[in-house]
Amino acid sequence: MISFFKKRKKNYPDFWVQYASKFETKLPTELQKVRFVVLDTETTGFDYDNDRILSIGALSLQNNTIAINQSFEVFLDQHFYHAKNIEIHGIMQEENKERITEIEALMFFLEFIEDSILVAHHAGFDIKMINEALKRHGMPNLKNKVLDTSILYKRTLIKSPLLIPQEQYTLDQLAEKFDISTKDRHTALGDAYITAIAFIKIVEKLKSTKNFSVKKLWR
């Protein structure tokens, strides 16, 4: 009788089970050994319920080095496009790009990120969009720790009554601050690259602060 009330184990896809198994070991405590994956998404809009991911771009970063040969970029087959957003990201339905299904994109993405620390600018949006896609296919949220470069950047600012930090900093502001080229701005992989460079520079600033530790990055 008791077994009747036991919670049934979810029958998740093999690729999710393999991804989840990566979290059975602890993350390294030395910064140079931690693998970060810097990501960005381009979407049909900003409505979590009704909009969809058009593309995901990501880069592997470890020991202050971006592994260009490990870059990740996929374009998803979607059927709903906002004309005003096409003007920004330039992804059009009729473009001659190889596109894959949402479930295929999730499978490849989880295989790429493994248990890495995820980094994104205004990360809440990108992670929420990916989590909503996972939910549509019956899977839980991402298990990775997440860092937001907009929040981290504010921690590098000198505390002063004369300096009132903005609530948010745009990726363009960070690119200008750190003299990063915006040539490929508003493409998922291009924005991931800008974010990765900004993240490296932000971490270098944080490392110079008192009592810095790796764990404080994602406190």
Q: What is the pLDDT at residue 79?
A: 72
Phi, psi torsion values for 70, nearest 5 degrees: -115, 25
What integer pLDDT is reported at residue 217 of this predicted model? 80
Please report the pLDDT score of residue 60 as a whole number.
97
CB 59 within 8 A of CB 196: yes
Which pLDDT score is estimated for 164?
63
Low-confidence spans in the chain with pLDDT less than 50: 1-2, 4-8, 87-89, 92-94
Domain boundaries, given as residue ranges, for the chain? 30-217
Question: What's the CATH number for 30-217?
Answer: 3.30.420.10
Could you identify the residue written with the tokens 């997440």? 146
By the 8 A CB rule, do 110 and 102 touch? no
Q: Which pair of structure tokens corresponds to residue 162?
A: 């004369």
pLDDT value for 94: 47
Q: Where are the alpha helices (H) located in the chain, listed in sequence order?
A: 14-21, 83-89, 102-113, 123-136, 149-154, 171-177, 188-207, 214-217
DSSP single-letter state for residue 50: T
Q: What is the dihedral angle through the alpha carbons of 87, 179, 189, 150, rounded to the nearest 10 degrees?
A: -90
Secondary structure letter of residue 115 according to DSSP: T
Give the mean pLDDT of the chain. 86
Hunting for tokens 């745009």 — which residue is that?
A: 170
8 Å CB contact between 92 and 70: no
Q: Are 130 and 19 in contact (CB under 8 A)?
A: no
The string of pLDDT tens digits covering residues 168-179 is 899 999 999 999
Question: Each residue of 49-85: pLDDT tens digit?
Answer: 989 999 999 999 999 999 988 899 999 987 765 555 5
User: Which pLDDT value is given to residue 89?
Assistant: 46
- Closest among 11, 36, 16 to 218, alpha carbons compared: 36
In which region does residue 96 sit, left (phi positive, over 0), alpha (psi from -120 to 50) or beta (all else)?
Answer: beta
pLDDT of residue 157: 85
Give residue 82's pLDDT.
55
